[in-house]
Structure 1
């Protein structure tokens, strides 16, 4: 089974509501690796690597988020070859510092 990398930008009320923790928990349950981080512009960024079916599930789940979140949009964005290589080399899913 081939694996892929995907990047998502999530906007709305997604900071300060446990969204990153929720994404980390969901990604680990799907056996994905990569990271999630807050962006200074108020969005949350997710870079995940794994099986297409698991990435599809995560992409759908991002629209819901934890109870306190109010997701407005989930945008899939391109992943550079360098980022894809880094994601593929990750051994876990983590929360990274704000960018």
Structure 2
């Protein structure tokens, strides 16, 4: 007797969806790990061969510009530098206004 296989949309799509999700998860995890390694290497190089946690803290809080090689797209790097400059200018204006308010 011939075996009868139950082939319908559920028996085909469920394994296909699971395989697709597993593939996407694999590619995403591999690429994010590689990006993190590259980023850490660039920060080590910017700090002179070893991670300087003080400089890293300043970078994360916008007080130190990120390494140039960190961002491959030029416009993002320019935006980060201009944001840092703008933050410095804004802080300067706030300090000047605060100083004028106290002396009056």
> What TM-score do you get using the length of structure 2 for normalisation?
0.24
Q: Which fold has the larger relative contact order, with Cα–Cα distance below 8 Å and residues 6 or more apart in sequence? A: 1
Compare CA radii of gyration and give the structure with the larger one: 2
Structure with the larger helix share? 2
Structure with the larger strand share? 1
